[in-house]
């Protein structure tokens, strides 16, 4: 993934472009590492009065920085593409958790299998504790892109980061 040069000062447009490039790089890296398949995951990064988020239904290999969608807090967008179908929980988590600056939503096969069964990820590795608790909670099922799923996601990460 790209690295931010902390000793440089960027103007707003440069910051936005850098974030867009980093989102594209991170999406491609998720697929390369096998933690995501196709276009099923998404990434958002807090920016100005909203966030920059991956578009819906666009293969990461075909994605360019200009394809990233600027999503305002009210759910409106700026640009020709539509945001990820999961835009609502990205927005709602960022609004509920001001300490978060980015959200990565992926579909690792084993985590997906546990989620389908409604099971939490147990503390089998110390990284679970890094997420803020003894388990990674599993949110109840709700249809993708709905306000109901967003509410479940916000609740599932209460006092956690995953």
Report the C-alpha gap between 32 and 155 in whole angstroms.
30
Residues marked active site are found at 86
Which strands sit side by side in the sheet containing 69-72, from one edge to the other? 77-78, 69-72, 50-53, 42-47, 102-105
116: Cβ contacts below 8 Å, ≥ 6 apart = none
Q: For 3, how many CA atoms within 13 A lie in the half-sphere containing its CB?
A: 3
H helical segments located in 11-146:
12-32, 87-96, 109-116, 126-130
């Amino acid at each position: 993934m790209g690295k931010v040069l902390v000793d440089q000062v960027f103007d707003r447009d440069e910051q936005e472009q850098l974030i867009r490039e980093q989102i594209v790089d991170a999406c491609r890296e998720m697929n390369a590492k096998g933690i995501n398949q196709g276009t099923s995951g998404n990434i958002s990064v807090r920016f100005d009065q909203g966030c920059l988020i991956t578009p819906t239904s666009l293969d990461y290999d075909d994605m360019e920085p200009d394809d990233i969608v600027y999503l305002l807090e009210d759910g409106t967008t700026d640009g020709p593409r539509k945001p990820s179908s999961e835009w609502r929980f990205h927005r709602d988590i960022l609004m509920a958790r001001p300490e978060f600056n980015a959200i990565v939503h992926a579909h690792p096969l084993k985590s997906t299998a546990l989620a389908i069964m409604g099971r939490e990820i147990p503390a089998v590795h110390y990284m679970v504790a890094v997420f803020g608790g003894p388990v990674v909670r599993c949110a109840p099922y709700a249809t993708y892109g709905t306000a109901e799923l967003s509410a479940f996601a916000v609740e599932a990460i209460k006092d956690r980061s995953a």
